[in-house]
Amino acid sequence: MNTLSNIASTLAKTPKKWLVTGGAGFIGSNLAEFLLLAKQDVTVLDNLSTGYQKNIDTLKSIADKEKANFTFIKGDIVDYQTCLNATKAQDFILHQAALGSVPRSIELPLDSHLNNVDGTLNVFLAAKENGIQRVVYASSSSVYGDSQEMPKVEDVIGTPLSPYAITKLVNEVYAKNFSQIYGIEMIGLRYFNVFGPRQDPDGAYAAVIPKWIKSLIQDQPVSIFGDGETSRDFCYIQNVVLMNILASLKTNKNAINQVYNVACNERTTLNDLYKIIVAELKAHHPHVENMKAEYKDFRPGDIRHSLANIEKAQKLLNYAYSHTLQQGMKESIPWYINNI
């Protein structure tokens, strides 16, 4: 079975060089941590606009303890020369750097385009110039747009509903083009609703799970947009790490130059999610059991329902997720209690 511990043991025997863009952020720092624990040579490129120096400090500590090579480049993917320098002599690129959030992209579409389209093109072109064989890049379930297909299958997408979704779809088109013209191996990962330790609970564009956890702990009101029956396929961070590594290492030609859903094929409504969080939190903070969520208007650009078909990843990458929503929440709650 392709567990992270088994893969780490195999990787440690043959260290490689990995560039993680956006490695000071939530997903990127978890990827970099796994690689460092597996004795890999890791470089992180991040401008610290949405990532954190504290995550870099943690990675440095891990590298020192594991006697692994770690390099942090404070730089921006919108600068091509920075990308060209960072990608030199790398074996793999895990491209996570982006300006996330559907609401933010609606408010600041130019910023989303600059970071997610121009920045990604810089990374792809730099990889081509430096002869990088494989790039694994973060896409998003938002590319499914107004498609009514359920569960979501990779080959059936609709019209994007936000500038953010458009940027991620453009990334996929560029990746396909680069693989066809330049022969670079490209694998896109359509993340569904990822959650776990290090996910930022603060800010106007914070993801729902960390934002709710912090609000509940601090006895602040929780807002649910719509009637609460909007549903998502929530995916714990360790499942995402596993998919990135599997996509990086897979040698089956049929698995390369593809896009894959990264999820659990489990749909949870926001109402049920609220109950799950409260159930996990109340042992530590009994007051949350009596708190009620506040319902507000639906937000523009939000997809009503999201559920992933993961058969393609199971078949071509041998993907088997390790954590359900409930299992991931049990691991996440203690981290937030200790870090809020």
Answer yes or no: are the C-beta atoms of 15 and 66 closer than 8 Å.
no
How crowded is residue 334: how many other Cβ atoms within 10 Å of its Cβ?
Answer: 12
Q: Which of 164, 191, 274, 321 is catalytic?
A: 164
Residue 164 annotated as catalytic: yes
Q: Which residues contact 224 (CB under 8 A, 6 or more apart)?
A: 270, 271, 274, 293, 294, 295, 296
pLDDT at 114: 96
Q: List, for residues 80-117, the tens digit of each pLDDT value.
A: 999 999 999 999 999 999 998 888 999 999 999 999 99
Q: What are the C-alpha distances in Å from 26 to residues 20, 23, 56, 201, 309?
A: 12, 8, 11, 11, 24
What phi and psi, each to the nearest 5 degrees, are found at residue 27?
A: -70, -45
- The single-letter DSSP state of residue 143 is G
Give mean pLDDT, residues 319-323. Answer: 94
Query: Does 203 or 316 have the greater pLDDT score?
Result: 316
Q: List, for residues 140-198, the tens digit of each pLDDT value.
A: 999 999 998 999 999 999 999 999 999 999 999 999 999 999 999 999 999 999 999 99
Q: Give me the half-sphere count of Cα atoms (radius 13 Å) on the Cβ side of residue 36.
A: 27
Residue 51: both structure tokens together: 């990532």
Alpha helices in 200-290 (DSSP H): 208-217, 237-249, 270-281
pLDDT at 340 over 90: no
The whole model's pTM is what? 0.94
pLDDT at 101: 86
| Domains, in order of start, for the chain | 16-195+237-265+306-322 (3.40.50.720)
CA nearest to 153, candidates 53, 263, 303, 38: 263
